[in-house]
Amino acid sequence: MQVNSSGNKISKSESDSLHTSSNNEWKYEDEFYKIYYLQHHKIALTNTRPSKADTAIKLCIPAAFTQLDDGSIDGLFIVNGKAIDSKKVNHHLGGGFLIEADKIQMLGTNDGKILTNTWQDSVCKLNVSFFQQIQMVRNGEALVFNKDQKLFQRRAIVIYADGNVAMIETKSPITLSEFANDLVRMKVWNAMYTDMGSYDEGWVRDPGNEKIIVIGNNRMETARQSNWLIFKN
């Protein structure tokens, strides 16, 4: 996303940016980023692989990390009030993604310290869904990732300052810090990372012809993906 010093998108006349869908509310793309606008979609978390034959699903991406050693979900993972494994709180991930009645909330977990048994019991009673991840932006400020200078294609679910929700994906490999800083320039208020690297394969449904478009540049470990975030009509 090309932005000027105030954080506003540069217009088509000033850049190569263009809308690539007949439905401009769905997708925005330029040479750096793709943005899928999701505020009118229902959201769900699942540990069962979604079917591409389900035409209600418009976007599907991996959510929490997958453990490399045993293929299990990394961190606390709750689906509709049921904890998949309450003993697997990750105390190295600072973000939490909470879904309640199609509303999302991104929260700091203090490296998992707030995810006590009491907290888990209280949210499970509300039939919520939840997963742990890296929070990129919190309350309009980019978080710092000095130790991670690896270059990967990046992806995040974001909430803008006006409350709108989107999925933003880089086209080229960048660092976590570069991604977080760019998100702030785009007026993102909160942003949660989603699994990438070799687990990056997801898919979107073209709103014009309903065809499936596979996303993610690596796609080497698609068969081992353990969980997914889906957006439906």
pLDDT at 194: 98
How far from each other are the two terminal CA atoms of the chain, in whole angstroms? Answer: 26
Distances (CA, A) of 166 to 27, 161, 222: 9, 12, 23
Distances (CA, A) of 27 to 21, 33, 54, 190: 6, 11, 20, 19
| Paired sense of beta strands 82-83 and 129-133, if any | unpaired
Asked whether 67 and 121 are in contact (CB, 8 A), the reply is: no
How far apart are alpha carbons 88 and 199 in whole angstroms? 20
pLDDT at 86: 67
| Predicted confidence pLDDT, tens digits, the chain (233 residues) | 444 434 445 444 333 332 333 345 899 998 899 999 998 899 999 999 999 999 999 999 999 999 999 999 999 999 999 999 767 899 999 999 999 998 999 999 999 999 999 999 999 999 999 999 999 999 999 999 977 789 999 999 999 999 999 999 999 999 999 999 999 999 999 999 999 999 999 999 998 999 999 999 999 999 999 999 999 99
Tokens 């209280």 sit at which residue? 122
pLDDT at 19: 34
Chain-centre distance of CA 142, in angstroms? 16
Q: What is the pTM of this model?
A: 0.89
Residue 149's nearest CA partner among 173, 132, 169, 133 is 173
pLDDT at 87: 73
Residue 134's nearest CA partner among 192, 208, 176, 54 is 192
Give me Rg for the CA atoms of the chain: 17
Q: Where are the beta strands (DSSP E) in 111-160?
A: 129-133, 135-138, 141-142, 155-160
pLDDT at 31: 85
How far apart are alpha carbons 228 and 223 in whole angstroms? 13
